[in-house]
Amino acid sequence: MTKISQHRALLLAAVVPALLIAGCSANTQAMKGAASPGTPTDMDSMSPGTASPSDTAGGSQAESAVQGYFNALKSGNLDQVVSSFADDAVVAVDGQATAEGSQAIRALFQKLQGSQDMKQATHTIDQSRTAGDQDAFVRSTSKQGDDDYRELFLLSKDGEEWKISQFMNNQAS
């Protein structure tokens, strides 16, 4: 396992459980019909572009990188979509085989590109945070046609530029 792969695995091990706990807490509150309290630690209470006290400028830069990906997706610019990802990125899109590396990512988005729902989709960035100065995560929601999706992006710095290293989405229930 390369040093980069180890670093990403540690980042996933730290971020995913926290997101799962926060998501379960929000879903439990919603199922009970109760409003969730608006505390500074409540991930869902953060509005797009709002940094938490633990965030740095890197969180908003990572958010901008994800917004660039969404813009490229909506415009149908396949080259720009692919260049949003690191060369060894992993993409897990709901209902599709996992794509690893630039060529597989290009093939995946080329297959998905014709969807009118994707071009007219709306995207909301719900949270962005840095994890050190080289890693960040961005959580978002999207509406494509009648379907709602949740997305999780892990980003890493490539020189001075943020690149998506891991991306996963699934259809919200």
Which tens digits make up the pLDDT trace of 42-70? 333 333 333 333 344 557 899 999 999 99
pLDDT at 159 over 50: yes
pLDDT for 119 equals 78
Residue type, 147: D
Per residue in 85-126, pLDDT (tens digit) is 999 999 999 999 999 999 999 999 999 886 667 778 899 999
Average pLDDT (121-143) is 95
Provide φ and ψ at 39, rounded to 5°: -100, 160
pLDDT for 31 equals 39
- pLDDT tier at 13 (50, 70, 90 boundaries)? low
pLDDT for 15 equals 55
Longest Cα separation, the chain:
46
pLDDT at 37 over 60: no
Return the residue matching tokens 């840095």. 130
How is the beta sheet containing 99-100 ordered, strand by strand?
99-100, 85-92, 161-171, 147-158, 135-144, 122-131
**Helix H or strand E encompassing 78:** helix 78-83
pLDDT for 10 equals 53
Query: Is residue 148 within 8 Å of residue 172, measured between CB atoms?
Result: yes
Determine what percent of the chain is predicted with pLDDT higher than 70: 64
pLDDT for 36 equals 36
